[in-house]
Amino acid sequence: MLEILTAINKTVLNITISIVILLGGIIIGKLVEKFLFRILKEIGINKAFRDFGLKINADQMFSNLAAYIIYFVSLVSALEQLGLANVVLTLISIAILLVVLISFFLAVRDFIPNVSAGIYLYSKIKEGDNIEVNDIKGVVLSLDLLQIRIKTKRGDTIHIPNSTVSKSILKILK
């Protein structure tokens, strides 16, 4: 019975210490954020960035960054006190990796079909050819791996993705 009470006391103590660490981190983070904001405002860091052509609110950005770093460190310390830091950080790392991978695949989902279609179209079309794609007639101005630029009779320049051209009926006019 004494062992159970000792274990409960130790757990309650660890939870209490974790809460104190977390609250202390939030308070210190807010204080550092306000203090750093005032210092950066006084030295005119925004003006220095504007002189370089960057229109950013640097004093707010750097003070927020400092506060978030303090929040993160206090969160990790609180989790470490509970013995959960490794598990939580591993889960966060996996989540970040998944977001990066999904973003990458969403970014290249149009790129790969356009490149493969561009390689195919290099053998079929050359600059100066008269073509018709999706009821658009014109002269090929340029062809690269991603798109075809066509100049119509009205003088309009139209950019058509290569994947669209490869999926459509392509007429090479004489």
Please, what are the domains in the chain? Answer: 2-108 (1.10.287), 113-173 (2.30.30.60)
What size, in residues, is the chain? 174
The pLDDT of residue 129 is 92
**70 CB neighbour count, 10 Å cutoff:** 20
pLDDT of amino acid 88:
86
pLDDT at 48: 85
User: What pLDDT score does 20 carry?
Assistant: 96
Query: What does the pLDDT read at residue 53?
Result: 83
- In 3D, which of 67, 63, 66, 64 has the Cα closest to residue 41? 63
pLDDT of res. 147: 92
pLDDT per residue as tens, the chain (174 positions): 778 878 788 889 999 999 999 999 999 999 999 999 999 999 988 888 888 888 889 899 999 999 999 999 999 999 999 888 888 889 999 999 999 999 999 888 888 888 899 898 988 899 999 999 988 999 999 999 899 999 999 999 999 999 998 888 888 887
pLDDT at 67: 96
Residue 33 CB neighbour total at 10 angstroms: 20
Measured over the CA atoms of residue 101, residue 107, residue 109 and residue 113, the dihedral's sign is negative
Q: Is the pTM of this model over 0.75?
A: no
Sign of CA pseudo-dihedral 158, 162, 168, 171: positive
